[in-house]
């Protein structure tokens, strides 16, 4: 008798089991990704060594990866002039924006900027060094030559190589954190 | 420990054992493909007993007799113990010495009091399916010990794997994978981040006593994700005879210094014969793999798993509680972790790792760390009149953490050492199946299944938070006659998917919630026809609708230098959201069995998927601050998969056997009239096997040696529209060999084997390896395997 009762209650339990399924915790919502490191903005400020107004150019993608397209400024430099260049990198997805430049300075032995001018008379020389006397690139000297032919624009490509392992002064190790192209003209 | 011996020493030891052991002469014969067949009949009336269970006590493999009472096994040479049982008859245990194909009829004695004691316990057998199926069990499974699940499944013709380096294998059935393949782990649908091509199944293959792949849609029974097929991972049944036993496995590999240890202890109590238990655990460590020319950097991995089961089983009801945990940490090739397209192009141009590494067990960045917990409660009730009711309730937690190549730049963040990508998936599933009692020639089952799933992430977004609720109902009926079995099934699923996406950043942040609801049907029709005692033909046709998954809708992020965008994220105004895909599958299989010389299987199939969801590159790729990043968008097209699988054995003489397999898949994008990317290349395998047989029980039994070649052609059928990073690599042929024996050490029969893969140490790349751009494949690898069965049971007083 007891056995039958037991079986019946077990049967009932078996049938009912799937219906006891319920979520134990309230399903949560995503939160702002404040722990994600991003670089959204590259600012290059060029100050003529002989005095005069600084030239600033910016690559800005304040919403980070995807979504809205970036805004890219044009770099216009005077001919036969020497500038002191300073790069600033920001993460504008954070409020207030996070300054990545300081972190790169702190870990300058793991970073290298590579400057590649094309189609314009601009020479970029890295003037800052890390503790192993390898170039970094946050500070530069930029020398311009003759003006661009009328109607032509060149470019300046700025690449940040993140090289925590094996930085040797060449771009090869590591991977790319920044790769931006500024339209550049000397006139 | 044995597996830590240098491989050469192990090789010598094994050769010595193998060459010196036992008499060499004697009547030889093929092992493991010997046919044991016969008829189970009533001792008095001599009538056939269809549906009787024949269980191999050593491997726990079981079959049921067909309508004419026939059973069939493929066995190794040596002594096999069989247990034959049938309701209302006394169970019979017998030993059969296999020294060639054996036909053995079994007569069962009816018991006066039926329904008591003689009932088959714990030996429920899956019915023969009309779909082509492949199984790995017994010695075949033993030959894969130490490999990951996806790697082991490649033994089945038509099953390949998408590889991510030497350690991650994602099963590919007839060219379909991820969201289109269902994995059933101990009867529970495995849920985690199965959409990812570089996310291997989170299952310890040592838990399995049998791996089965259903090749082709099986959605009515297993749910709408089973368009491509189903992988069934079945642990051994809980022990049903009084006593305590154990099984130990040791595996050592020469190439990457892999050492694996797996042990299982199980018992059944004399005082409480209904109660059985089993505990099991696995530890695996591997160092960096070696190609013929260099070490593959950071390819080390570690895996630690355990499981426990407790069952209470009576003839008419029973229950089981099962828990398992899977833990793995997998190193990823640093060269594959790239910032943008030009990094990628440079790495592909190099074709080999930039920074050489020495052999090491250390696992550095980038790596994946995955944990999967499964808790399962199941029970059944069998009544004489109503049939059998089975219920399964399971809860899974899948935590997948992925660490980038470089720690965060900010020191405070770096100190936290958090993964850059982290997903947590919690899934509760409930299944209720009622198998009704046979109505004349009709058997069948009705089932209800429910899923409640919650997915979240921490760190960088990639797929959204989501809640997925699925309810399904199905009916499968099967009609048996003397030669025919016809099966028809219907299923209806209701899916409710709610996604919650993070939009914007702190200061300007909100959550976008979207809800999608679909009712998707599935239907199938199949037949099995026993044309003769040696030939079975089967056909299947099915329709499945699969609702789009969260990743297909809303993937949004960068992973390994590649940006994935879900369809619904990039949908222009007016375009409807992603809609379910409809798969029409048809398959035909011919199986030759119980023949003295040739046995084998040919299966042809076709799967047409309307509104097939796949990824296409965005050209030109959009610009971001890292420059040009390869960007892939989910799109829909109409796809056609067609192919042939062939597998066969030819017995040349009692001791020599030729085994062959081949598989061909063609996949077309019908809207673009082009090939689909990532389709397995044509492949074939041929091996020659020699088995020794000792007429008297010597110390060394079941000795075998085999040599084989595995060839893969170059994939020439690639899309012209889709730009791959590199052309498919050239084809290759690899040579492999294996020797093995069972050694009697005291009372312990130890299975020892030594297997060599890529024996000629060839340099090659495989089209299905995602890291083929950066590195060549593993070189020569020699694997030593040892299996020790232990029995602690004392003789009854």
Question: Considering only alpha carbons, which residue of chain A is nearest residue B392?
Answer: A18
* Co-location of B786 and B695 in the same domain: yes
Do the beta carbons of residue A155 and residue A117 sit within 8 Å?
A: yes
Distance CA A163, CA A112 (A): 7
CB contact set of B455 (below 8 Å; sequence gap of 6+): B423, B424, B425, B426, B463, B464, B465, B466, B467, B468, B550
pLDDT for res B445: 94
Question: Is the model's pLDDT at B587 over the cut of 60?
Answer: yes
Q: CB contacts < 8 Å between A and B, how many?
A: 165
Spatial separation of the C-alpha atoms in residues B398 and B183, rounded to whole Å:
14
Q: Is the CB of A104 inside 8 Å of chain B's CB atoms?
A: yes
Residue B759 lies in domain:
150-268+281-342+367-791
Report pLDDT for B126: 55
Q: Mean per-residue pLDDT for B689-699?
A: 77
Nearest to A157 by CA among A82, A84, A70, A59: A59
Any CB–CB contact under 8 A between B510 and chain A? no
Q: By the CB < 8 Å criterion, does A3 face chain B?
A: no
Question: For residue A135, is it within any domain?
Answer: yes
Minimal CA separation from B259 to chain A, in Å: 30
Give the chain B residue whose CA is nearest to the CA of A70: B624
Domain count, chain B: 2
Confirm or reject contact between A102 and chain B (CB < 8 A).
Answer: no
B623 or B728, which is more confident: B728
Average pLDDT of the residues in B203-212: 95
**Residue B797: what pLDDT?**
43
**Domain holding B75: CATH number?**
2.60.40.1120
Six-digit token pair at B314? 């009576």
Residue B502 contacts A where some CB pair is shorter than 8 Å: yes
Residues of A in contact with B340 (CB under 8 A): 176, 179
Distances, alpha carbon B286 to alpha carbons B290, B329, B402, B782, in Å: 12, 11, 19, 14
On whether the CB atoms of residues B731 and B712 are closer than 8 A, the answer is yes
Chain B hits for A106, CB-CB cut-off 8 Å, are 411
Query: Which helix (H) or strand (E) element contains residue B19?
Result: helix B7-20
> Residue A10's pLDDT band (boundaries 50, 70, 90)?
low
At residue B344, the pLDDT reads 84
pTM of the shown model: 0.85
Chain B contact for A165 (CB, 8 A cutoff): yes
> CA-to-CA distance for B522 and B272, rounded, in angstroms?
44
Identify the weakest region by mean pLDDT among B100-104, B355-359, B531-535: B100-104
The Cα–Cα gap between B51 and B470 comes to 35
Q: What is the pLDDT of residues B155-199, one digit of tens each?
A: 999 999 999 999 999 999 999 999 999 999 999 999 999 999 899
A162 touches chain B (CB under 8 A): yes
Closest CA–CA distance from residue A72 to any residue of chain B (Å): 10
Residue closest to B103 by CA, chosen among B70, B130, B137, B68:
B70
φ/ψ bin of B170: left (φ > 0), alpha (ψ from -120 to 50), beta (otherwise): beta
Contact A176 B338 (CB under 8 A): yes
**Torsion angles phi and psi, residue B150, rounded to 5:** -60, -35
Q: Is residue B19 part of a domain?
A: no
Q: Do B166 and B102 share a structural domain?
A: no
Q: By the CB < 8 Å criterion, does A179 face chain B?
A: yes
Of B450, B457, B500, the CB nearest to A21: B450
Structural tokens at position B64: 């049921």
Contact between B309 and B277 (Cβ < 8 Å)? yes
Please, which pLDDT band fits residue B384 given cuts at 50, 70 and 90? confident
Cβ contacts of B727 within 8 Å, gap of 6 or more: B718
Per-residue three-class SS string for B394-441: EEEEEEEEEECCCCCCCHHHHHHCCCCEEEEEEEEEEEEEEEEEEECC
Find the domain containing A118 and state its range. 37-186
Q: Would you tell me how many other CB atoms lie within 10 Å of the CB of residue B456?
A: 19
In whole angstroms, what is the distance from residue A104 CA to residue A107 CA?
5
How many Cβ atoms from other residues are within 10 Å of residue A168's Cβ? 11
CB nearest to A36's CB, from B393, B450, B459:
B459
- How many angstroms separate the Cα of B654 from the Cα of each of B22, B120, B194, B253? 19, 35, 45, 32
pLDDT digits (tens, 9 = 90+) for B274-308: 999 999 999 999 999 999 999 999 999 999 999 99
pLDDT tens per residue, range B52-110: 888 887 777 788 888 778 888 887 777 778 888 887 777 777 777 777 777 788 888 77
pLDDT at B516 over 90: yes
- pLDDT score, position B696: 56
**A69–chain B nearest CA distance, Å:** 8
Q: Do the Cβ atoms of A179 and B393 come within 8 Å?
A: no
Q: Is B362 on the interface with A (CB under 8 A)?
A: no
Same domain flag for B773 and B635? yes
Per 3-state DSSP, chain B is made up of helix, strand and coil in percentages (nearest 5) of 10, 55, 35
Q: Pick from A28, A32, A156 the residue to mutate for testing the B interface (most B CBs within 10 Å).
A: A32
Number of residues written out for chain B? 797
Name the β-bridge partners of B248.
Answer: B263, B788
State the average pLDDT over residues B131-144.
92
Distances (CA, A) of B325 to B247, B304, B342, B469: 19, 8, 41, 24
In order, the DSSP letters of B653-714 are ETTEEEEEEEEEEEEEETTTTEEPSSPPPPEEEEEEEEE---SS--SEEEEEEEEEEEEE--
- Residue of A18, A69, A101, A171 to mutate for B, most B C-beta atoms under 10 A: A18
Q: What are the residues facing B286 on neighbouring strands?
A: B301
Rounded distance between C-alpha atoms, residue A63 and residue A160, angstroms = 20
How would you list the strands of the sheet with B62-64, edge to edge?
B62-64, B53-56, B78-85, B92-98
Query: Could you tell me which chain A residue has the CA closest to the CA of B433?
Result: A15
Contact assessment for residue B40 and residue B49, using Cβ atoms and an 8 Å cutoff: yes
**A131 touching B, CB under 8 A?**
no
Question: What is the distance in angstroms between the Cα of B317 and the nearest Cα belonging to chain A?
Answer: 8
Chain A closest CA to B407's CA: distance in Å?
Answer: 9
Q: How far is B343 from chain A (nearest CA, A)?
A: 7
- Report the number of distinct structural domains present in chain A: 1
Does residue B359 lie in a domain region? no
**Count of C-beta atoms within a 10 Å radius of residue B302:** 17
Q: Is B618 on the interface with A (CB under 8 A)?
A: no
Q: How distant, in Å, are the alpha carbons of A19, B332, B694 from that of B296?
A: 50, 10, 44
A-chain CB neighbours of B626 within 8 Å are: 176-179
CA atoms within 13 A on the CB side of B515: 3
B509 vs B688, higher pLDDT: B688
Q: DSSP 3-state helix, strand, coil percentages of chain A (rounded to 5)?
A: 15, 40, 45
> Which of B409, B419, B463, B508 is most worth mutating to test chain A (most A CB atoms within 10 A of its CB)?
B409
Is A182 contained in some domain?
yes
Q: Are B92 and B111 in contact (CB under 8 A)?
A: no
Q: In the numeric block, which tokens belong to residue B100?
A: 């060639």
Say which DSSP state A94 is in.
S
Beta bridge partner(s), residue B501: B512
A27 touches chain B (CB under 8 A): yes
**B389 at A interface, C-beta within 8 A:** yes
Last residue of a domain, one of B57, B92, B108: B108
| Residue B157 shares a structural domain with residue B103 | no
**Nearest by CB: A176 against B411, B509, B626:** B626
B187: tokens are 């009867």
Chain A positions in Cβ-Cβ contact with residue B407 (cut-off 8 Å): 164
Which helix H or strand E contains A106, and what residues bound it?
A: helix A100-106
The alpha carbon of residue A52 is apart from the nearest alpha carbon of chain B, in Å, by 30
- Residues of chain B in contact with residue A15, where contact means CB-CB under 8 angstroms, are 389, 391, 432
* Backbone phi, psi, residue A72, to 5°: -125, 125
Report the half-sphere exposure of B228 (CA within 13 A, side-chain side). Answer: 23
Interface contact A173, partner B, CB < 8 A? yes
**How many Å separate Cα B594 from the centre of its chain?**
27
Q: Measuring CA to CA, which residue among B763, B776, B775 is closest to residue B734? A: B763
The closest CB to that of B511, out of A14, A30, A103, belongs to: A30
Q: List the CATH number of the domain containing B781.
A: 2.40.170.20
Q: How far apart are CA B444 and CA B436, in angstroms?
A: 6
Cross-chain Cβ contact B461/A30 below 8 Å: yes
Q: Which residues of B175-203 are buried (b: 16+ CB within 10 A; e: fewer)?
A: bbbbbbbbbbbbbbbbbbbbebbbbbbbb
Could you tell me if B52 and B181 lie in one domain? no
Residues B175 and B50 reside in one and the same domain:
no
Same domain, yes or no, for B92 and B158?
no
Q: Which secondary-structure segment (H or E) carries B636? A: strand B630-653
Task: Provide the 8-state DSSP code for B507.
Answer: T
Retrieve residue B93's tokens: 């245990």
Q: Which of A6, A25, A30, A69 to mutate to test the interface with B (most CBs of B within 10 A)?
A: A30
Question: Which pLDDT band, with edges at 50, 70 and 90, does B10 fall under?
Answer: very low
Model confidence at B578, pLDDT cuts 50, 70, 90, reads very high
The answer to whether the Cβ–Cβ distance between A23 and B456 falls below 8 Å is: no
Q: Is A96 inside any structural domain?
A: yes
pLDDT band of residue A8 (cuts 50, 70, 90) is: low
> Per-residue pLDDT for A26 more than 70?
no
By Cβ distance, the residue of B381, B406, B413 closest to A10 is B381
- Report DSSP state, residue B345: H
CB-nearest to A70 from B337, B509, B624 is B624
Residue A139 lies in a domain: yes
Those residues whose C-beta lies under 8 Å from the C-beta of residue B590, and which sit 6 or more positions away, are B535, B536, B537, B601, B602, B603
ipTM of this complex: 0.85
| B484 vs B450: CA distance, rounded Å | 33
At residue B13, the pLDDT reads 47
Chain A hits for B464, CB-CB cut-off 8 Å, are: 30
B554-573 residues touching A, CB cutoff 8 A: 556-558, 561, 563, 565
Give the whole-angstrom CA distance, residue B26 versus residue B697: 12
Instruction: Tell whether B237 is within 8 A of chain A (Cβ).
Output: no
More confident residue, B232 or B18: B232
pLDDT of residue A22: 45
Residue A177: list chain B partners with CB under 8 A: 339, 626
Contact between B501 and A30 using a beta-carbon 8 Å cutoff: yes
Residues facing B778 on adjacent strands: none
For chain A, where are the E strands, in sequence order? 41-48, 55-60, 71-72, 75-77, 82-91, 98-99, 111-118, 122-126, 139-144, 154-162, 175-186
A18 to chain B: which residues are within 8 Å by CB? 391, 393, 430-432, 448, 450
């Amino acid at each position: 008798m007891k056995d039958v009762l037991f079986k019946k209650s077990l049967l009932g339990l078996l049938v009912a089991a799937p219906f006891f399924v319920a979520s134990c915790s309230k399903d949560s919502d995503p939160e702002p990704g404040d722990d994600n490191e991003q670089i959204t903005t590259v600012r290059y400020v060029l100050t003529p060594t002989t005095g005069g107004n600084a030239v600033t150019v910016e690559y800005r993608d304040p919403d980070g990866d995807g979504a809205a397209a970036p805004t890219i400024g044009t770099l216009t430099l005077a001919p036969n002039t020497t500038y002191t260049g300073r790069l600033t990198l920001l993460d504008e997805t954070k409020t207030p924006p996070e300054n990545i430049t300081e972190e790169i300075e702190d870990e300058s032995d793991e970073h290298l900027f590579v400057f590649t001018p094309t189609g314009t008379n601009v020479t970029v020389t890295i003037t800052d060094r890390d503790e192993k006397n390898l170039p970094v690139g946050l500070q530069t000297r930029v020398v311009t030559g003759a003006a661009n032919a009328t109607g032509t624009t060149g470019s300046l490509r700025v690449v940040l190589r993140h090289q925590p392992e094996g930085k040797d002064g060449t771009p090869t190790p590591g991977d790319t954190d920044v790769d931006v192209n500024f339209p550049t003209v000397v006139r | 420990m044995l597996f830590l011996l240098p491989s050469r020493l192990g090789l010598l030891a094994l050769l010595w054992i193998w060459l010196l052991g036992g008499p060499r002469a004697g009547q030889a014969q093929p092992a493991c493909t010997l046919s044991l067949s016969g008829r189970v009949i009533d001792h008095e009336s001599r009538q056939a007993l269809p549906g009787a269970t024949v269980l191999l006590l050593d491997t726990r493999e079981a079959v049921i007799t067909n309508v004419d009472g026939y059973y069939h096994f493929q066995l190794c040479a040596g002594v096999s113990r069989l247990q034959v049982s049938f309701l209302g008859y006394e169970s019979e245990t017998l030993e059969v010495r296999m020294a060639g194909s054996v036909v053995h009829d079994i007569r069962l004695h009816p018991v006066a009091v039926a329904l008591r004691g003689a009932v088959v316990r714990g030996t429920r057998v899956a019915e023969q399916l009309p779909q082509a199926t492949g199984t790995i069990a017994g010695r075949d499974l033993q030959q894969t010990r130490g490999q990951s699940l996806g790697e082991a499944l490649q033994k089945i013709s038509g099953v390949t794997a998408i590889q991510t380096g030497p350690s991650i294998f994602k099963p590919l059935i007839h060219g379909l994978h991820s969201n289109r393949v269902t994995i059933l782990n101990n009867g529970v649908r495995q849920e985690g981040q199965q959409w990812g091509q570089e996310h291997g199944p989170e299952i310890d293959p040592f838990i399995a006593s049998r791996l089965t792949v259903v090749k082709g849609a099986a959605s009515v029974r297993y749910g709408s994700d089973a368009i491509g097929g189903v992988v069934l991972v079945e642990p051994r049944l809980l022990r049903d005879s009084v006593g305590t036993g154990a099984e130990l496995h040791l595996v050592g590999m020469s190439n990457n210094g892999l050492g694996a240890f797996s042990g299982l202890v199980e018992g059944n109590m004399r005082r409480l014969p209904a109660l059985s238990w089993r505990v099991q655990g696995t530890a695996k460590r591997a160092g960096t793999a070696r190609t013929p020319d260099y070490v593959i950097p950071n390819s080390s991995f570690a895996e630690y798993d355990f499981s426990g089961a407790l069952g209470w089983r009576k003839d008419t009801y029973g229950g089981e509680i099962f828990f398992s945990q899977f833990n793995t940490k997998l190193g990823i090739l640093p060269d594959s972790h790239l910032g943008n397209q030009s990094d990628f192009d440079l790495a592909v141009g190099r074709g080999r790792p930039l920074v050489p590494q020495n052999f090491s067990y250390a696992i550095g960045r980038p790596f994946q760390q995955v944990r999967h917990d499964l808790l399962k409660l199941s029970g059944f009730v069998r009544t004489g009149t109503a049939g059998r009711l089975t219920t399964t309730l399971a809860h899974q937690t899948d935590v997948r953490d992925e660490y980038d190549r470089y720690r965060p730049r900010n020191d405070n963040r770096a100190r936290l050492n958090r993964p850059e990508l982290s997903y947590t998936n919690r899934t509760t599933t409930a299944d209720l199946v009622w198998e009704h009692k046979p109505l004349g020639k009709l058997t069948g089952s009705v089932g209800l299944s429910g899923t409640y799933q919650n997915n979240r992430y921490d760190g960088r977004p990639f797929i959204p938070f989501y809640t997925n609720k699925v309810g399904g109902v199905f009916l499968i009926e099967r009609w048996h006659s003397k030669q025919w079995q016809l099966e028809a099934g219907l299923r209806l699923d209701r899916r409710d998917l709610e996604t919650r996406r993070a939009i914007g950043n702190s200061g300007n942040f909100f959550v976008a919630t979207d809800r999608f609801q679909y009712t998707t049907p599935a239907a199938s029709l199949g037949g099995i026809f026993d044309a003769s005692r040696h030939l079975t033909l089967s056909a299947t046709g099915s329709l499945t609708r699969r609702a789009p998954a969260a990743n297909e809708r809303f993937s949004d992020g960068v992973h390994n230098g590649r940006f994935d965008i879900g369809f619904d994220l990039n949908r222009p105004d007016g375009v409807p959201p992603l809609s379910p895909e409809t798969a029409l599958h048809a398959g035909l299989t011919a199986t030759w069995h119980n023949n003295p010389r040739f046995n084998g299987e040919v299966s042809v199939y076709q799967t047409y998927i309307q509104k097939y969801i796949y990824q296409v590159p965005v050209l030109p790729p959009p610009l971001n601050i890292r420059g040009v990043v390869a960007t892939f968008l989910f799109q829909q097209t109409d796809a056609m998969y067609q192919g042939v699988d062939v597998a066969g054995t030819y017995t040349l003489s009692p001791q020599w056997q030729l085994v062959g397999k081949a598989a061909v898949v063609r996949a077309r994008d019908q809207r673009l009239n082009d090939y689909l990317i990532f389709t397995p290349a044509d492949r074939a395998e041929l091996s020659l096997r020699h088995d020794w047989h000792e007429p008297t029980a010597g110390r060394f039994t079941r000795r075998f040696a085999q040599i084989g070649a595995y060839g893969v052609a170059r994939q020439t059928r690639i899309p012209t529209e889709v730009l791959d990073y590199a052309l498919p690599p050239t084809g290759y042929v690899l040579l492999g060999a294996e020797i093995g024996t069972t050694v009697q050490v005291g009372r312990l029969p130890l299975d020892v084997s030594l297997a060599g893969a890529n024996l000629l140490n060839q340099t090659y790349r495989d089209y299905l390896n995602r890291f083929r751009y950066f590195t060549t494949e593993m070189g020569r690898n020699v694997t030593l395997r040892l299996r020790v069965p232990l029995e602690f049971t004392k003789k009854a007083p």
